[in-house]
Structure 1
């Protein structure tokens, strides 16, 4: 039950933040990254029906930054689909350990 309470608190904080950051370590959707190197995608977190939660990147999704924090020249248009994720419960959000209200490190699409 303690874990459920922590999961509900985390989800409440993420929903309140609305703009959140998803941590990834593998290149997906055309992102230019080094496999195994963590990076973040800025997006939106919301609760939908029946206790289901969603992370959605902005559209269009554009990679502005490289892994070493230099500007992409030119910026790269990414496929947003692989960055989207649906969580079936607050517990699933917590178990995934990939969403945070703050981007720690390289946020590839931070304006």
Structure 2
């Protein structure tokens, strides 16, 4: 082993090593709908990104109302495509309706 970490469980069995399945973050940014331009979606070009090897998630980083009755509680939806990620600030299935306004962090990860 030239680098990495190994973790053993309580029974002494190796549970995680440098060859285990992991993901690496390849892109991270704070998003907010309407910034820098208004719209229901935004495409972010990320060279090398592909749906077969990458995944993405948006995580709230600001005050987040969990009642479901506020536009601050609308989760952004990232969809991976070849060469980038499309962020939907509202429902991907709707062309109208409310869009979220809270700040959220986009994480794009590559499977190892």
Normalization by structure 1: what TM-score?
0.27
Structure with more helix by fraction: 1
